[in-house]
Structure 1
Amino acid sequence: MTRALHLPITLAHAKGAYTVRLSIGSGQRPGNFVLDTGSSTLVVLPHAYDPDQDASHTPTTWAQEVRYGGGVWAGPVLRADVHFDGLHESVHLEAAQFSRAQAQAQDMHDADGLFGLAYSGLDIAHDVRDYLSERGVEPPLTWPWPFDREDENLCDFATLLKQQPRVTLTPLFTALADAHRIDNRFALLLRRPLVHVEDDSADVALLAADPLNQGVMVLGGSADHDADPPHRLHEGSFSDIQIVHDLYYNAHLIAVQVGDGPRIDAPALDPKYEHRAASNAFFDTGCSFVILEATLYRAVLAAFAQHDARLPALVERFQQTFAQQQQGLPNADVDALDWPELHFFLRAPDGSETRLTCTQEHYWPRNAMRAGQAYCLLMSQMKNWPNQTILGLPLLAERYCVFDRSAPNGGCVRVAKARGADAAWSD
């Protein structure tokens, strides 16, 4: 077993999420994959992987269609070797299950795919063997892809799959742990929620060289990560948050506080959503925003107004500008106002509360996506989404986060301050 595999990660490719480099197949062509604790599937885009050029690949009779908050894709499930080349060691897994996105409406910017880090309950495929056999596809395999490519929204395909037998896949991280290649935990050192841009002409290489766009992923490692080479990546002690369900990295959000104002109680998850959401909050590294349950969002904006009556108007102005032009607001407009800290209170493993604070530099990051622009990363609950808060990258920025799936009672997320960029890489 590899004790701790350290992997560089970066915001340079996906811009609003971190990617890690891994290789699929016998040719070991590297790709940059979004790290997403809000999903479970390893999916690769067609430009980054050709099964016909991979001697290690095996087709299946399974197909997947996966929908996120802002995108959807569909494709065949394949098996092939997956390789991780760390800073000090390497790990590979034979016959890993993954999908190739044959049809997709998902913008991953310059990333080559997505590495879902959540549990198997989200990694569902369907066996279309009988369907293909009835239509004369022999052998009844999903590679080469035998389906219509004109269903742009994939609605017809989703309906078709729901009529076929379900198959629960084994996510890549789960497979690594089950094969005893690593311990059943991983950690992420994260700097910012959006890519830092000082020059709009900067290419991916220049963005990747910016320390503010760099981070670290540690696969495996000890429970406290204190002794892992190259020395610890955090400062001070950890604060622990209980994982209350293993669908996502589900947490129980107790309350939110704006500055030193009164606490705002977080509503419980509506029972009708328990089967698909599990709790009233979850940690999602694939999300650039903190997406607050609708009543919480309104209460936070009201608390902003109590702090300074001008604050809600600037949030609304950003939302309109972003919706119309995909642009942020000038840094100076945000800097002109005093933005309060946001405090999130979550259930700890011992039943007490753990407080995580989100500073204005992380929910209003400057020089984000473009030089001189700030983005507001607070958002209200999405349409048709459960009454649930999504704890995305702004809450995890400048933190070292250990997702310890082996901890008692279903696991926990351990959070500490990230070490400075120079210290993290030079020790």
Structure 2
Amino acid sequence: MPVDLSFDDPRSDEVLDAAAGVRRSILPGGVRLVTQTDRSVRSATLGMWLPVGSRDERPEHAGSTHVLEHLLFKGTARRSAMDIATAFDEVGGESNAVTAKEHTLYYGRVRSADLPMALDVLTDMITAPSLEEDALATEREVILEELAMAEDDPGDVGYETFLADVLGPDTPIGRPVGGTAESVNALGIEDVRAHFSEHYRPENLLVTAVGDVDHEQLSEQLVAGLRRGGWVLEDGAVPTVRRREAHPEMMLGGAAGGHEVAAIRPHLLARPAEQTHIYLGGTGLSAVHEDRHALSVLMSILGGGMSSRLFQNIREQRGLAYTVYSFSAAYRDAGLFGLYAACRPARTAQVVELLGEELATMGERGVDQAEMRRARGQITGSFALGLEDTSSRMGRLGTVELVHGTYTGVDETLSRIAAVEAEDVRRLAAQLASSFSTRVDVGPES
């Protein structure tokens, strides 16, 4: 049965799933720790999550979340940048970080014997970074190169533009995660320090660990590491309340949708290229929407693999594109769906028409049981294969805690996918087909 991940008891310590070895504690300072013990492996993946992403930045701090992520690897009071880099390299481990729209994640994967080292390094980074002016000057250039690299990739620039157009380019959630060259150049070290002080606090921190780990031992080491970095961990403190719904107008069926595909004027990003990269779609489902499992099935049938409708119709039968698929993105209070294809410019109009028609047909005529069976098998299989990886399981625990607020076991999740009916998929397809609002083309001018 699902378990509510509440904050009511500041001393909360409970087993969420005894069979899977999942346990959760709220530690001093409101720090959350969720672990999954798996003695069949000799490694562990450790993640440190802060529920702050690009959408949480103040206008004057635009881009600071991503810049801060980079700077945390540039040294602390106890370690140089080289010390941080070599700590994982010399034990054959790996470490990295991800900035997203709604969270920032720092993680490491090591042998279980090296977990204390990984915990010490990561807690040092998030509690006591140096945040020096010269480090910002250097890393700013690195980030500008990163942005330039993305600008040269038609897939990256097309997707980011599509996402901004659907969610609103002038809204916090619609802004690019990495900022822009202008906003990154405008950031000063005091902006970054202010962003760090505001968000990197005990009550915001979630730590997840999966593998050959001991929950009690990790709890003690975590508290000690955070205190060593200078954080004050008060007994009785509770975690920050989870993100609330703030943009109901961005939900499926909101004001943004309702256009015929043929009437959507493309946002053309002119690039010298041999193909036109097409992004077509609109508002979708939030990460907590009750139809999210039906959306997974729909996306699998529509454009999730070689047997999908888009692949079979546009590539296999007509030979109009090499790459074609469907996709979705979900946030706490917003979501989007999209269809993608890359083709020679002369075929763009035909491909756009076929993309829209395929989803509309699904909404009108539904799907058959063979498609439902394949979709369930694809989702179940990829989900099961992902659980073989401690990093994937670590990420799942983080998403469950930060976004959903309810722990659901693997068997329960799979049963919910199995419970999706063909009519659920048809109904959702009809809704999506009526919500087309945005088209982005990246390629040569006609």
Larger Rg: 2
TM-score where L is the length of structure 2: 0.25
Structure with higher helix content: 2
TM-score where L is the length of structure 1: 0.26
Structure with higher strand content: 1
Between 1 and 2, higher relative CO (CA 8 Å, sep ≥ 6) is seen in 2
